[in-house]
């Protein structure tokens, strides 16, 4: 059971809040418009707080100091970004997820280390999947494997310009690197075993569930 704050009570936010509540989580929903809480229906078992999702007083009322997850799913990218920044940087919420409407902003979100769900359909299901997986890089699950997308962290390697060969990552962690994109967006590729990856590159990988802990040092927080 997790303590979850959902910011935004439109179609997606209300659906998400009910899904999480039905799964036994403690859920509090924030929306600036009190009328929006009607979207939750009569069977919603959580709580509500009227206010702005990035306002500190509102977040404290919603229980941010004991919060495990914040999901910012309003219709405004800037609002969701602000909620994510306040939740993670000011209150240290372990897992913050932001809904992203404009895909042009996706690289910026990744560089900031903000977990996100992009698109307008199945957003609630995607957020629940991320919460259940327990880590921000999750994209999908196939049996005993997870597909992860993340910004590569090589800062722990003792060099001024850290790099790593794809074959080294795959050999040491029994994973498969599916694709990568350079940090500046200059190139993307399906790698060979000899491909070189750099700090901050965006990486798509397939990893066994039980190996994610050992592999997590490659994933930027």
Pairing of strands 95-100, 115-118: parallel
Question: What span, in angstroms and rounded, lies between the C-alpha atoms of 153 and 183?
Answer: 11
**Spatial separation of the C-alpha atoms in residues 203 and 214, rounded to whole Å:** 17
What is the model's pLDDT at position 37? 95
Mean pLDDT of the chain: 84
The pLDDT value given to residue 99: 87
Query: How high is the pLDDT of residue 129?
Result: 61
Measured between alpha carbons, how far is residue 78 from residues 53, 81, 117, 139 in Å? 12, 5, 14, 23
Check residue 83 and give its pLDDT.
95
Q: Any idea which residue has 């404009």 for tokens?
A: 102
Reported as a single tens digit per residue, the pLDDT across 88-131 is 999 999 889 888 888 777 777 777 778 888 765 445 656 656 56
Mean pLDDT of 19-37: 92
Q: What are phi and psi of 56, to 5 degrees?
A: -65, -40
The answer for residues whose C-beta is within 8 angstroms of residue 64's C-beta and 6 or more apart is 5, 70, 87, 91, 93
pTM (two decimals): 0.62
Residues 12/99, Cβ–Cβ less than 8 Å? yes
Q: Give me the percent of the chain exceeding a pLDDT of 90.
A: 36
């Amino acid at each position: 059971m997790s303590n979850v704050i959902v910011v935004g009570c439109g179609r997606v936010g209300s659906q998400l809040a009910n899904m999480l509540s039905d799964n036994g989580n403690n859920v509090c929903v924030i929306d600036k418009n009190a009328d929006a809480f009607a979207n939750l229906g009569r069977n919603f078992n959580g709580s509500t707080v009227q206010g702005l999702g990035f306002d500190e007083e509102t977040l404290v009322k919603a229980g941010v100091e004991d919060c495990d997850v914040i999901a910012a799913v309003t219709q405004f990218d800037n609002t969701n970004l602000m909620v994510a920044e306040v939740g993670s940087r000011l209150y240290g919420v372990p897992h913050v997820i932001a809904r992203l409407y404009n895909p042009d902003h996706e690289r910026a979100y990744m560089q900031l280390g903000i977990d996100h769900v992009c698109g307008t359909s199945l957003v609630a299901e995607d957020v629940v999947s991320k919460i259940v997986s327990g880590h921000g890089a999750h994209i999908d699950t196939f049996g005993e494997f997870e597909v992860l997308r993340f910004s590569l962290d090589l800062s722990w390697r003792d060099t001024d310009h850290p790099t790593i060969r794809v074959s080294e990552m795959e050999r040491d962690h029994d994973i498969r690197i599916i694709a990568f994109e350079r940090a500046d967006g200059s190139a993307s590729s399906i790698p060979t075993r000899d491909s070189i990856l750099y700090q901050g590159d965006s990486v798509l990988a397939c990893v066994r569930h039980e190996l994610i802990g050992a592999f997590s040092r490659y994933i930027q927080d």
